[in-house]
Amino acid sequence: MALWGGRFSEPTDDDLRRLNDSLPFDKRMFEQDIAGSIAYARAIEAAGVVTGEEADALVQGLYAIRGEFDAGQFVFDRRDEDIHTAVERRLTELIGAVGGKLHTGRSRNDQVATDFRLWVIDAAEKIDGQIHELQVSLVRQAEPHLTSVMPGYTHLQPAQPITAAHWLMSFFWMLARDRDRLADLLRRASVSPLGAGALAGTPFDVDREALARALGFNSASPNSLDAVSDRDFAAEFIFTLALAGVHLSRLAEDVILYSNPLFGFITLDDRYSTGSSIMPQKRNADPMELARGKTGRLVGNLAGLMTTLKGLPSTYNKDMQEDKEAVFDSFDTLAVLLPVVCGVVRTLHLNRDRMRAALGDELLATDLAEYLVRKGMPFRQAHHVVGRAVRIAGDEAIPLSRLPLAVLRELSDLFEEDVKAVFDFDQSIARRRALGGTAPEAVAEQINAAKAWLLAHQPPDESPS
Ligand code: ARG
């Protein structure tokens, strides 16, 4: 007999069961479900709903069930609709009718909201730890490349010289914001719905704040209707993972381009590149193409969940059961991807010579304009003068630095012998030493700030106990 069979005279249609059952995917919340039930058994004991003996029996039974899950010995029944019914069914098998007292004042609506929050909190902490690892790899890879000069691009057109360290560190800060977002959503996720009942609250004397703390939440929800229907935590989590995916995808795109022989700036380690079954010369950046590709799926999960939630009437609706697969899939996708991206970054070979060889004089056109600015010319005018110099050099098919001084002086008599010094990539880099610039000393400071950030944001399992 199903959990709610009393009012029905016919069993549920098999096809409906297949549609309705969430056990195939929500069984991965067994730990959270059992933890929630153990805390709830103690809460209704304190409320005088069950005796101390009855509560002990409930808790012992729940421990035994946890043991069965841990040992991989829990046997599901074909009538188990979801993880909540499976655990309760087994509890009653183990300890008898008193097992049926556990659900007093509780609904699967507050139960699933509780389990799912606990699961998301745990998952967010795992992703946080993995992103931390990637940040560490970026810093380690950046440190030896403070003076490795490479072309910087806007619109994927050569723009200005930058350093490889500066390029790598740009991703560090994107990931820092992702981790900030995780910390922020954890704060809002840490609110316990348990004791909200089906929608209207519990008629028993349950101390919901104590129950919340027993489960590791910061507080209990202030409105039972909102408690059973709030899936903001799931939406925020799935968004944060999608945006982290977008960051990985953009890093991936750079790595794919820069490892193309036309660029040749970087080489993926053998362990992190793949070959072709027909073309022996191939060295493909498959892991990074997967980072780019899988991000489409992370964004799709976000769009799916938002669409499911939109337009739902108040409180719990079965549509909400759709929340879990999207969240699980985003977590699984990113949890498999992050260690690989971390490995790619950690083992990346940066080819300093190829980067330097790719530097063209045109990357210093801005510096040339700035030379005129330092001699008093308004920037707008300097931009125009250098634009004409670039055009003449192009017409003559000579590098900008080879334009004779006499030609430059026809454009402006501010050009003098010292203009030659402009055409030095290292000097161009060195001048950009204001906060956040690409100069080696500025990037060294940036790396120090990044290390301080990492120390202030140690993932839980890594902080000294
Ligand atoms: N399996 C359901 C879910 O994931 C649990 C809640 C069911 N509640 C209900 N009133 N049918 O959402």
pLDDT digits (tens, 9 = 90+) for 5-48: 788 889 889 999 999 999 999 999 999 999 999 999 999 999 99
Distance 86 CA to ligand 1 centre (A): 13
Q: Whose CA is nearest to atom 7 of ligand 1?
A: 108
How many Å lie between the centroid of ligand 1 and the Cα of residue 395?
72
Whether 457 sits among the annotated catalytic residues: the reply is no
Assess whether 422 and 324 both reside in one domain.
no
Ligand 1 atom nearest residue 81's Cα: 1
**What is the spatial distance between Cα 234 and Cα 250, in angstroms, rounded to a whole number?**
24
For residue 262, how far is its CA from the centre of ligand 1 (angstroms)?
55
Pocket probe mutation, ligand 1, options 82, 103, 231, 328, max atoms within 8 Å of Cβ: 82
Dihedrals φ, ψ of 154, to 5°? Answer: -125, 145
**Does residue 341 sit in the same domain as residue 245?**
yes
Tell me the per-residue pLDDT of 213-269, one tens digit each, with 9 for 90 and over: 999 999 999 999 999 999 999 999 999 999 999 999 999 999 999 999 999 999 999
Report helix, strand or coil for 332. helix
Q: Which of 88, 104, 120 is the last residue of a domain?
A: 104
Model-level pTM? 0.95
Ligand 1: residue whose CA is nearest its atom 4: 321
Supply the pLDDT for residue 276.
83
* 353 lies in the same domain as 366: no
- Give the pLDDT of residue 283: 84
The answer on 387 and 253 residing in a single domain is no
Predicted pLDDT of residue 462: 53
Amino acid symbol at 57: A
Question: Is 316 among the domain residues?
Answer: yes
4: in domain: no
In this prediction, the residues of the chain whose per-residue pLDDT falls under 70 are: 1-2, 461-465
**Count of domains forming the chain:** 3
DSSP string, 283-298: -B-HHHHHHHHHHHHH
Q: Does the residue 191 lie in any domain?
A: yes
Give the position, in ligand 1's atom list, of the atom nearest the Cα of 198: 10
Helical pair 232-258 and 164-189, crossing angle rounded to 10 deg: 170
* Whether the Cβ atoms of residue 367 and residue 401 lie closer than 8 Å to each other: no
**Residue having the nearest C-alpha atom to atom 12 of ligand 1:** 321
Residue closest via CA to ligand 1's atom 3 equals: 321
Mutate to test the pocket of ligand 1, among 16, 17, 22 (most ligand atoms within 8 A of CB): 22
Distance CA 145, CA 153 (A): 18
Q: What is the pLDDT of residues 353-376, one digit of tens each?
A: 999 999 999 999 999 999 999 999
Answer whether residue 178 is part of any domain: yes
| Cα dihedral 309/314/318/323 (nearest 10) | 30
Span from the CA of 85 to the centroid of ligand 1 (angstroms)? 10
- Please name the residue ranges forming H helices in 259-351: 286-309, 323-347
Domain-ending residue, one of 47, 78, 104: 104
Atom of ligand 1 nearest to the CA of 324: 4
Nearest protein Cα to ligand 1, atom 11: 318
Q: The domain containing residue 84 runs over which residues?
A: 14-104
pLDDT score of 465: 45
For a pocket test of ligand 1, which of 106, 318, 328 has the largest count of ligand atoms closer than 8 A to its C-beta?
318
Q: CA-to-CA distance for 162 and 206, rounded, in angstroms?
A: 61
Atom number of ligand 1 nearest to Cα 83:
1
Residue 218 buriedness (CB in 10 A; 0-12 / 13-18 / 19+):
middle
Strands 191-192 and 219-220: parallel
Whether residues 258 and 141 fall in one domain: yes
- CATH (domain of 281): 1.20.200.10
Please report, for the domain that includes residue 417, its CATH number: 1.10.40.30
Tell whether 343 is covered by a domain: yes
Determine contact, residues 201/88, Cβ cutoff 8 Å. no
Residues with CB under 6 A from ligand 1: 22, 26, 82, 108-109, 112, 316, 318, 320-321
Which CATH number do you get for residue 59? 1.10.275.10
**Contacts of 396 by beta carbon, 8 Å cutoff, 6+ apart:** 403
Q: Which two tokens stand for residue 256?
A: 């794919």
- Across 96-212, the runs of DSSP E, i.e. the strands, are 149-154, 157-163, 191-192
Based on the fold, state whether residues 88 and 132 are members of the same structural domain.
Answer: no
* Ligand 1 centroid – CA 321 distance (Å): 6
Residue of 84, 192, 249, 276 with catalytic role: 276
**Domain termination site, one of 300, 325, 357:** 357
In 3D, which of 301, 296, 293 has the Cα closest to residue 239?
301
Cα–Cα–Cα angle for 106, 107, 109, nearest 5°?
130
Q: Are residues 133 and 256 in the same domain?
A: yes
Find the 174 Cα to ligand 1 centroid distance in Å. 37
Atom in ligand 1 nearest the alpha carbon of residue 116:
4
| 289 and 256 fall within a common domain | yes
- Residue 283 shares a structural domain with residue 337: yes
Mutation pick for ligand 1 pocket among 87, 110, 321 (CB with most ligand atoms within 8 Å): 321
Whether 291 and 368 share a structural domain: no
Structure confidence at residue 103 (pLDDT):
95
In a domain, 449, yes or no: no
Which of the residues 9, 132, 155, 192 is marked catalytic?
155
In a domain, 127, yes or no: yes
- Tell me the CA–centroid distance for residue 109 and ligand 1, in Å: 6
Distance of CA 56 to the CA centre of its chain: 41
Q: Are 399 and 361 in contact (CB under 8 A)?
A: yes
Task: Say whether both 343 and 403 belong to one domain.
Answer: no
For a pocket test of ligand 1, which of 12, 108, 312 has the largest count of ligand atoms closer than 8 A to its C-beta? 108
Residue 218 alpha carbon to ligand 1 centre in Å: 24
Verify that 58 and 142 share a domain, yes or no: no
Q: Is 352 within the bounds of a domain?
A: yes
Active site residue 276: yes
pLDDT, position 281: 87
Distance 226 CA to ligand 1 centre (A): 16
